[in-house]
């Protein structure tokens, strides 16, 4: 219904466009009638196995949220094997082809370039986070700020803040995800803010949705905290350190209601699925009984519910969706330097072994992403930052950030024991993720 309302609002001026929309509307109607059509992932033709139950996501249009940080499962049982059946994206696929890239910009190497990097000054970015301002927190070796990503067979488009603002004019750019994605959002603010006079920009207080506005461009750059994409008990932007993760695997509605009006969406999700089993509370469950599933399986359910939203609700002629692949961690220095016992602490230069891949980037997760994202075709642009970030063992804050908890003497005497080898210093690696975003916009 909302679909046809949206269509009716369009004023079509050219017969060609009118014809296109007619086809589009007919397709929409057809699609709605055929909505039982599902993509059956993993459909093995093994008649021995019990048939997999496919649950259509996002059906329960709840206004109030079911989960919050105090939620508990009333009981937990084994995973029933239910999967998410999502809309076939081909039924309503858009016409636009994402530029037929002759060059793989994600394959390349880091080049020391202190002439053009960093792209901004850490101390002059008012939106900098104390978790990421490594120089401010004592990191004296600032070589990590000077690396340029050089694709093998072409050049990345040069970052130009004014040009980026022109692309954003009248639009909402929204980052949706976890603290890694928040880092990329802060990087974007730092990259963009210098060309906007101080009295023409503003930012709302930190909340689940935080909004940066640039008056002259009537544009916003926003961040929505949604670390597991679907509704979960970890959606509080501040208090989310919990003993157990509970998700509603078939519901992205709570979050999509906040992101559906954005014009350009940048999603990520990964590390929160790497913390052990996840509890599933299906929308149809009335007694608060959860099922338990490993992180990768749960992530696939959440990605499928998200993909259903992209496939069925997104008009690719009007909006852009990006998905940022796994951000690697550097927790074990023995992986790049056999025999050593540390982590990213004290690492000062990138890894130069082409194709280096550490255990922080989970291959089964990547294969799952390949599968889900490739079905969405041109509806989503993948920012495949995993390999290029894998090289940057030098790019993490390690001990040079603000730590919220008080550090004990035995920690302080052993820096690797409390090093942050997950997030990234700014200026640094996430700036390049944003240059890639700029490249594809």
Ligand X SMILES: *[C@@H]1O[C@H](CO)[C@@H](O)[C@H](O)[C@H]1NC(C)=O
Contact between 173 and ligand X by CB under 6 A: the answer reads no
Beta bridge partners of 219: 214
Contact between 275 and ligand X by CB under 6 A: the answer reads no
Q: Which stretch binds ligand X (CB under 6 A): 158-166, 236-244, 270-278, 424-432?
A: 158-166
Q: Which of 43, 121, 275, 359 binds ligand X (CB under 6 A)?
A: 121
Q: Which of 35, 116, 123, 239 binds ligand X (CB under 6 A)?
A: 123
Contact between 333 and ligand X by CB under 6 A: the answer reads no
Q: Which is nearer to ligand X, 172 or 330 (CB)?
A: 172
Contact between 387 and ligand X by CB under 6 A: the answer reads yes
Rounded to an integer, what distance in angstroms lies between the CA atom of residue 28 and that of residue 34?
Answer: 10
Return the SS3 of 30: helix
Contact between 163 and ligand X by CB under 6 A: the answer reads yes
Q: Which is nearer to ligand X, 283 or 384 (CB)?
A: 384
Contact between 410 and ligand X by CB under 6 A: the answer reads no
Beta bridge partners of 213: 202, 220
H-helix or E-strand containing 78? strand 75-78
Rounded to an integer, what distance in angstroms lies between the CA atom of residue 115 and that of residue 209?
Answer: 36
Contact between 176 and ligand X by CB under 6 A: the answer reads no
Q: SS3 letters for 144-181?
A: HHCEEEEECCCCCCCCCHHHHHHHHCCCEEEEEECHHH
User: Is beta strand 246-247 parallel, antiparallel or unpaired with respect to 278-280?
Assistant: parallel
Q: Which is nearer to ligand X, 232 or 325 (CB)?
A: 325
Contact between 155 and ligand X by CB under 6 A: the answer reads no
Structure tokens given for 191 = 């990259």
Contact between 166 and ligand X by CB under 6 A: the answer reads yes
Phi and psi angles of residue 251, each rounded to the nearest 5 degrees, phi first = -135, 110
Contact between 202 and ligand X by CB under 6 A: the answer reads no
Q: Which candidate, 187, 189, 192, places its Cα nearest to that of 162?
A: 192
Size of the site for ligand X (CB under 6 A): 23
Write down the least CB distance from residue 142 to ligand X, Å: 8
Reduced DSSP (H G I as helix, E B as strand, rest coil) percent helix, strand, coil of the chain, to 5? 30, 15, 55
Write down the least CB distance from residue 59 to ligand X, Å: 18
Contact between 74 and ligand X by CB under 6 A: the answer reads yes
Contact between 101 and ligand X by CB under 6 A: the answer reads no
Q: Which is nearer to ligand X, 20 or 285 (CB)?
A: 285
Q: Which is nearer to ligand X, 153 or 218 (CB)?
A: 218
User: Is beta strand 320-324 parallel, antiparallel or unpaired with respect to 246-247?
Assistant: unpaired
Rounded to an integer, what distance in angstroms lies between the CA atom of residue 265 and that of residue 255?
Answer: 12
User: Is beta strand 289-293 parallel, antiparallel or unpaired with respect to 278-280?
Assistant: antiparallel
Binding pattern for the stretch 303-332 against ligand X, x by CB under 6 A and - elsewhere: ----------------------x-------
Q: Which stretch binds ligand X (CB under 6 A): 49-57, 206-214, 235-243, 383-391?
A: 383-391
Rounded to an integer, what distance in angstroms lies between the CA atom of residue 135 and that of residue 30?
Answer: 57
Q: Which is nearer to ligand X, 213 or 313 (CB)?
A: 213
Active-site residues, by number, are: 179, 420, 423
Beta bridge partners of 84: 55
Write down the least CB distance from residue 250 to ligand X, Å: 15
Return the SS3 of 118: coil
Are the CB atoms for 228 and 269 separated by under 8 Å? yes
Length of the chain, in residues: 441
Identify residues 225-264 at the interface with ligand X (CB under 6 A): none
Write down the least CB distance from residue 314 to ligand X, Å: 17
Residue 207 to residues 183, 223, 238, Cα–Cα distance (Å):
15, 9, 8
Q: What is the dihedral of CA 98, 101, 106, 108, to 10 degrees?
A: -170
Q: Which candidate, 386, 430, 437, 438, places its Cα nearest to that of 125?
A: 430
Contact between 369 and ligand X by CB under 6 A: the answer reads yes
Phi and psi angles of residue 394, each rounded to the nearest 5 degrees, phi first = -85, -5
Contact between 349 and ligand X by CB under 6 A: the answer reads no
Binding pattern for the stretch 212-231 against ligand X, x by CB under 6 A and - elsewhere: ------x-------------
Q: Which stretch binds ligand X (CB under 6 A): 161-169, 223-231, 272-280, 428-436?
A: 161-169
Q: Which of 81, 126, 276, 288 binds ligand X (CB under 6 A)?
A: 288
Q: Which of 4, 32, 35, 160 binds ligand X (CB under 6 A)?
A: 160
Q: Which is nearer to ligand X, 167 or 274 (CB)?
A: 167
Residues making contact with ligand X (CB under 6 A): 71, 74, 114, 121, 123-124, 160, 162-163, 166, 170, 172, 218, 288, 325, 366, 369-370, 373, 382, 384, 386-387
């Amino acid at each position: 219904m909302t679909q046809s309302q949206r269509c009716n609002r369009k004023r079509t001026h050219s017969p060609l466009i009118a014809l296109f929309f007619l086809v589009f509307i007919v397709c929409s109607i057809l699609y709605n009638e055929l909505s039982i059509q599902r993509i059956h992932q993993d459909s093995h033709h093994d008649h021995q196995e019990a048939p997999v139950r496919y649950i259509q996501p996002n059906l329960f249009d709840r206004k109030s949220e079911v989960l919050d940080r105090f939620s508990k499962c009333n009981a937990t049982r084994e995973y029933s094997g239910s999967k998410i059946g999502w809309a076939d994206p081909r039924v309503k696929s858009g016409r636009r082809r994402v530029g037929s890239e002759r060059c793989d910009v994600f394959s390349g190497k880091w080049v020391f370039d202190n002439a053009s990097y960093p792209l901004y000054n850490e101390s002059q970015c008012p939106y900098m986070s104390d978790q990421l301002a490594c120089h401010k927190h004592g990191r004296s070796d600032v070589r990590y700020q000077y690396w340029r990503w050089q694709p093998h067979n072409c050049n990345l488009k040069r970052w130009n803040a004014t040009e980026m603002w022109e692309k954003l004019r009248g639009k909402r750019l929204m980052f949706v995800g976890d603290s890694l994605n928040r880092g990329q959002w802060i990087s974007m603010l730092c990259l963009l803010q210098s060309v906007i006079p101080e009295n023409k920009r503003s930012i709302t207080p930190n909340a689940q949705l935080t909004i940066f506005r640039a008056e002259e461009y009537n544009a916003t750059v926003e961040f929505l905290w949604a670390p597991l994409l679907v509704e979960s008990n970890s959606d509080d932007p501040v208090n989310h350190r919990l003993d157990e993760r509970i998700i509603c695997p078939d519901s992205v509605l709570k979050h999509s209601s906040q992101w559906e009006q954005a014009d350009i969406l940048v999603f990520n999700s990964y590390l929160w699925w790497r913390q052990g089993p996840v509890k599933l509370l299906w929308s149809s469950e009335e007694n608060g009984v959860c099922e338990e599933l490993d992180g990768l399986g749960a992530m696939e359910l959440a990605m499928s519910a998200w993909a259903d939203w992209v496939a069925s609700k997104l008009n690719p002629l009007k909006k852009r969706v990006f998905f940022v692949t796994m951000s690697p961690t550097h927790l074990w220095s023995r992986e790049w330097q056999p025999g050593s016992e540390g982590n990213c602490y004290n690492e000062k230069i990138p890894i130069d072994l082409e194709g280096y891949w550490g255990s922080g980037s989970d291959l089964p997760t990547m294969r799952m992403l390949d599968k889900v994202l490739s079905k969405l075709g041109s509806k989503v642009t993948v920012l495949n930052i995993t390999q290029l970030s894998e090289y940057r063992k030098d790019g993490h804050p390690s001990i040079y950030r603000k730590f919220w908890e008080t550090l004990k003497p035995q920690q302080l005497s052993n820096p690797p024991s409390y090093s942050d080898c997950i997030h990234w210093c700014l200026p640094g690696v996430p700036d390049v993720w944003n240059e890639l975003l700029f490249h594809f916009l």
